[in-house]
Chain A
Amino acid sequence: MGGGPERIDTMTADRQNNTGGAACKHLFVINPAAKRISGGKARRALREKIAAFFDGHPDIPHEVYESRWCRDSVAFIRQYVSESAGRVRVHALGGNGTFFEAVNGVVGLDNAEVAVYTYGRGNGFARYFDRGGGKPFLSLENQVFGRTIPIDVIRCGNNCGASFGMAGIEAYANALGNEWRENYIPTDMSYTLAAMYLILNGRASQNYRINIDGGIIEGDFVSVLVANAPCYGVNMYPAIDAHPNDGWFDVYTFKKVSKAGIIASIPIYTHGGYRKLPKVISHYRAKNVKLTSNEVMCMSVDGENFYGTSVEYEIMPGAVKVVCPDSIDVAKLPRIYGKRDRGGR
């Protein structure tokens, strides 16, 4: 590790409040595949709720768009925002995938901001603000009139993410778990089983060359997590130091250990206990991370898998504005995971 980047334990946060969305156009993007609104009845109810809300605010322009297929809304959002003269608040009504599409739709456009809703399975990004299930994010009042904060964005190849980029067992388990859930095991248990299968099958680790802001680390790793936000999955929060508006990535490298070691370490790691595993997991802060491997790597950005033998993650500080509901105390955000878990275990 001698030539590697410096490990840091401190974090910085810079909060910027913004005005609400009363003067915006509001574009509601509904993802019909999102878990909590996948039924036609739920979506109809949601549309009625939106319509009723704007009946009470007839002076606020709004539009509802239901995405038709994967990434369909990216193009629509981008075109809609580009053609709008004023500010547009894009409401991503779905889960992480919908938020991912909204981020890709607005990134680089100054007159757009995103409101994230928690209609999905995990809603990892929203859990940064609220550990209790994301109810503040379901309030139209909050989302329409709430202030925005700028967040950093992860640029990775052709796409941008907001929460994390990863390679290794987490990404493999995500890919395999998705496949199993679709075909064999229609529950979230599929991800855990997939992870177990990979570990037992000896496919949990891989040789990587990791370039963290110019410092090179090379070796066999179980996972490399490049985090902009702390949470992923349904209830996991491995990157407790990551804050989406600090201008930094938090990078966690999980070294290869025995199968038993992996099985024992994973629950600790995925619940913010990396400091309890100093010999296994290392933490870095960086703005640019490059990963290469001689074998194909399974990778993921915000839960969207892709494959290759090299990848570069680059931070785009404050590239997108997201709505932070008024009920959330922004000042307390940096420690909501760190406080509890650091001292807890």
Chain B
Amino acid sequence: MKDYSVLSEDRAKTPARIIIVIYAIIKTAFYAFNLGVKTLPSEGAGPDFMHWFGIPADVIPWLARVIVGVILIIGVFIITGSEKLTNRQKSVFMPLLLAVVELAHASLFGGDRLIYFLLIGCSLLSLMYADVLGLFVSMAAISAITAFLLFVLNVRLLWGANSLASTEIFNFISLIVMYILVFMLGRHSVNALNRFNQAGYIFDTLQKTSPNLTVVVDDRARIDYISKAFAEIVGVEKPEYATGLPFIDIFPTSELKFFWNGLLQCEGAFSETFELNFGDGARRFFMITSEPLGESKVARTFECTEITYIVEAHNAAEAASKSKSNFLATMSHEIRTPMNAILGISQIQLQRGGLPEDTVTAFENIHASGGNLLGIINDILDMSKIETGKMELNPVEYDTPSLINDAVQLNIVRIGSKQIDFSVDIDENMPSKLYGDELRIKQILNNILSNAIKYTKKGSVKLSVNCVTDSDGVTLRFAVEDTGQGMRPEDKEKLFSEYLRFNAAANRATEGTGLGLNITKKLAEMMGGTISAESEYGKGSVFTVTVRQKAVECPSIGAKVAEQLRKFAFVGGRQVNFKITRERMPYGSVLVVDDVATNLYVAEGLLAPYQLTVEMADSGFAAIEKTEDGNVYDIIFMDHMMPKMDGIETARKLRETGYKNPIVALTANAIVGNDELFMNNGFDGFISKPIDVRQLNEVLNKFVRDRHPEEAKKYSVDTTEQGGRSYKINQRDGVDQNQKAETAVKRPKYLDIAMNPRLLKFFCQDAEKAVATLRETVKNGDAKLFTITAHAMKSALANVGEDEASKTAAALENAGRGGDAGYISANVDGFIQTLESLISKFRGADNGGAVGADKDNAGMDDSGVDEDRDYLLELLRIIKSACDNYDDDTAYAALDRLKEKRWKVSTIESLEKIRDALFINSDFDNAGEMCSALFDYVVYDKVGSRMS
């Protein structure tokens, strides 16, 4: 039996003392009264020794009563005042004292029947200390003493009952029964009280040490309870000082008073996070949990947990994320700028034809790697958009079979030489059209398909597509099942984490950033769907993605289309909407503003097909000068990052001068939020670099063609008559982030193939300017211009392959940013010398003619070449199919595979023509026809060979 009574202070002291004093007085008064009426029994007149002192017999009982009263008062005062006794001991001693003294008095002087009630009352004193054990012990002791007196010493406690032992026995049994009843009832009450005491004690103890702020408000909005921490934070010296005060009064500022008064008005329970300033200026965040008390509309508890450190950690994480986004923006710019040149120049070189095979291979590798790199950048940028919540879905109505076919065709190519059995299972009841973000769904599908192929060396990959229609829309479900390496359970748990590649050691040779699945998951969730993975290590995996799409009134795809998709022979579904027509616009004029000559050169090439009047400006100042001369352009394409005056400032100044025609930003900073930045600074549009031909086409159509409707009409006819420059883009272009590299590949196809001399010339111009600027800035200490110049030279040098010098430029740029004058003075002269030597070197090369030489294959003897015609025919069939589907990736991949074997010169020439048709003009129809012609020729030749 636990002694919970010790948890509380001795609160029985004063009441016990008052009770005993009142009892003693009443009892004595009762005796005094009875003395007068002489009702006391002669037997109870007291023991004989009293008479020895000559005390009159009728005074003895009264005197004895006074003495008993004094003894009781003194005894109770001593017991209750003792600091040595525990509450339990007091709960036993106090009733015992009373019982023993009263029993002794009754034994000596005789008592009335009240003595038994008194004995019961004695034990009740135990209850004042709320101790069950004390109650039990005192009852047992009183019972034992009474029994001893009655039955051992044969004492009679009642007046006139000497001969009636049965009366005493009856009274004693009644006493025991009453004790049992009192104990049973008292035990429950005492236990309940102790539980209450214990709860209070624990609550007090917890609150003393808890950092949480707790307050209980009563139904008059006054404080019932306030924790130490709460009192301290509002400046109340001690919690007890605030108890009973109006709750609102304890707050030091009006803001806090309003806030807490507002919380009092809340209905029901709540738990929310708030930012509060408790008057000390500190910014703190609290999770406030509140529960109403009973039926009252006001009384409630408030528990406030400070979560500032969590919020700060969250903010720090957000800041880090923002910092990461900024880094990505910078990285994007830094990588995309040279990427523009890398992809553009490598493609132009590949277009030239006649290059040595190893050079072609090198350029192809450069181009492919550049494409991969761009894909990675795009993945990272996607992740950045998702993290900052700026990824938006752009729903359109789309063709379901085409979407599936595109993804399938793209991924078939990825199989390459792997022994993978790729199959597709499409539900023929699927709707032929849906409404949703087609681009992002393709991205999802490509991610899970490419992963399956990537991690499966041998075996099978199966794509299953079906959907469930309900009243709210359609749930599209893709499942990709592979027999690849599978995943361990621990890898599976981390599958959708950012930047995580599972089984990294084993998959070191596998390309990828580890972002794909995370992006896929986020995209699926944005579309109201899910992604899940089932996997068994060593046996394979099944990835299932669902996305919610809106239904469109349309028929199902049907058995025929489903079958075509299963056999990879889907041909329908293309729409003219995807066809891009580059219209001639000789009536239009544009100004391109960029400080890097290479970029001007690329832009000029991209604009050439439109036959626009194109002017160039190498700085913002030059651009302003041109407009001040009265020139007005249909569009000014403005680079963002330029020295002295950047694109934004230039645009603002142009607007200030009253220039009203469109200005479109060209920037490699394709990070989220840039579009708003440009739009808010006087720009009418925004094109990211490397330049997307569709974006460029859209901008030109919008700002040039549509503003000259009469001329446009005229030249539109011309276009048709001249065969035009009709240019179809596969749906995947610009849709799938992984495919943007291929989009880039197509861009510079209109460039003058004699580029390199011009490039070198432009470099020399840039470098000469840079040398002068660097000297000037070092002299006058213009760190900003120095940094920008070094930055420009960094990319310019990289463009011409001078990597070491580019690194030096980068180091100088960093030194300029960091104000490291020592480093600059130590290295700038050497850097200038390097630039000067490069200028003289490239001037010589330029004068000497174009770099490189065509290799003429004519006249090569290929009589010994034994062509693998079956292989050729199989791949020609793939190319033809790809051309029919405007799928240049598949076509390029097949053409590349053909390079693995030796072919006759005539075959090579035909294949190169097909490649050129695709590569230079994106002329899928012509490429397809050429493919058919070669196919027929090979078949004929093959048959002819057999016949001969």
Contacts and interface: CB of A to CB of B under 8 A. Distances in A.
A304 B248 CA distance: 12
Contacts of A309: 237
A308 B236 contact: yes
B723 to A, nearest CB: 71
A71 interface: yes
A109 B942 CA distance: 101
Interface stretch (B45-53, B250-258, B548-556): B250-258
A96 to B, nearest CB: 14
A75 B261 contact: yes
Contacts of A71: 221, 246-249, 257, 261
B920 to A, nearest CB: 70
Contacts of A69: 219-221, 264, 298
Interface string A66-90: 0011111011001100000000000
Given A71-B221, A79-B258, A296-B241, A304 B298 contact: no
Contacts of A307: 237-238, 240-242
B252 A74 contact: no
Contacts of A75: 248, 257-258, 261-262
Interface of A, secondary structure class, is: mixed
B707 to A, nearest CB: 49
B236 A78 contact: no
Given A69-B298, A70-B220, A308 B237 contact: yes
A70 B248 contact: yes
Interface string B309-333: 0000000000000000000000000
Contacts of B242: 307
B238 A296 contact: yes
Contacts of B261: 71-72, 74-75
A305 interface: yes
Contacts of B257: 71, 74-75, 158
A307 B242 CA distance: 7
A282 B236 CA distance: 30
A306 interface: yes
B271 to A, nearest CB: 22
Given A70-B221, A70-B246, A75-B248, A306 B241 contact: yes
Interface in A149-192: 157-159
- Interface magnitude class on chain B: 20 to 34
Contacts of A308: 236-237, 241
B237 A158 contact: no
Contacts of B235: 158
A88 B297 CA distance: 30
A307 B258 CA distance: 23
A157 B252 CA distance: 7
A307 B241 CA distance: 5
Contacts of A79: 258
Nearest to B250: A158
B644 interface: no
Residue from the set A304, A306, A309 with the largest chain B CB neighbour count within 10 Å:
A306
Contacts of A72: 221, 248, 261, 264
A75 B253 CA distance: 11
B245 interface: yes
- Which bucket holds chain A's interface residue count? 10 to 19
Contacts of A158: 235, 249-253, 257
Contacts of B249: 71, 158-159, 304, 306
Contacts of B222: 70
Interface string B254-293: 1001100110110000000000000000000000000000
A70 B258 contact: no
B228 to A, nearest CB: 15
A70 B254 contact: no
Interface string A301-345: 000111111000000000000000000000000000000000000
B245 A74 contact: no
A75 B238 CA distance: 26
B246 A304 contact: yes
Interface in A281-308: 296, 304-308
A307 B238 CA distance: 9
Nearest to A158: B252
A264 to B, nearest CB: 30
Contacts of A68: 265, 297-298
B245 A305 contact: yes
A35 to B, nearest CB: 16
Contacts of B253: 158
Interface in A241-271: none
A296 B254 CA distance: 26
B224 to A, nearest CB: 13
A306 to B, nearest CB: 6
Tell which of A157, A304, A305, A307 has the most Cβ of chain B within 10 Å. Answer: A307
Contacts of A78: 254, 258
Contacts of A304: 245-246, 249
B12 to A, nearest CB: 21
Nearest to A306: B245
Nearest to B237: A308
A72 B247 CA distance: 10
Interface in A45-79: 68-72, 74-75, 78-79
Contacts of B258: 75, 78-79
A68 B220 CA distance: 9
Contacts of B238: 296, 307
Contacts of B245: 304-306
B468 to A, nearest CB: 53
Interface in B732-774: none
A33 to B, nearest CB: 8
Interface in B802-850: none
> Which of B247, B257, B258 counts the most A-chain CB atoms under 10 A from its CB?
B257
Contacts of A74: 248, 257, 261
B790 to A, nearest CB: 56
A126 B248 CA distance: 25
Interface in B648-701: none
A74 B259 CA distance: 12
A112 to B, nearest CB: 14
Nearest to B246: A70
A78 B255 CA distance: 11
Nearest to B256: A158
A111 B542 CA distance: 72
A121 B125 CA distance: 44
Most chain A beta carbons < 10 A, residue from B221, B252, B297: B221
A71 B263 CA distance: 13
Nearest to B220: A70
A71 B261 CA distance: 8
A71 B221 CA distance: 8
Contacts of A296: 237-238, 241
A157 B261 CA distance: 18
A248 B596 CA distance: 77
B230 to A, nearest CB: 14
Nearest to B240: A307
A105 B220 CA distance: 19
Contacts of B220: 69-70
A73 B691 CA distance: 64
A79 B254 CA distance: 10
A68 B265 CA distance: 9
20 contacts: A68-B298, A69-B264, A70-B220, A70-B221, A70-B222, A71-B246, A71-B248, A71-B249, A71-B257, A72-B261, A158-B250, A158-B252, A158-B257, A159-B249, A305-B244, A307-B238, A307-B241, A308-B236, A308-B237, A308-B241
Given A69-B221, A159-B249, A304-B245, 4 more contacts: A70-B248, A75-B258, A158-B251, A304-B246
Which 9 A-B pairs give the minimum distances between C-beta atoms? A69-B221, A307-B241, A71-B248, A70-B246, A75-B261, A70-B221, A75-B258, A71-B246, A69-B298
Interface of B: 219-222, 235-238, 240-242, 244-254, 257-258, 261-262, 264-265, 297-298
Interface of A: 68-72, 74-75, 78-79, 157-159, 296, 304-309
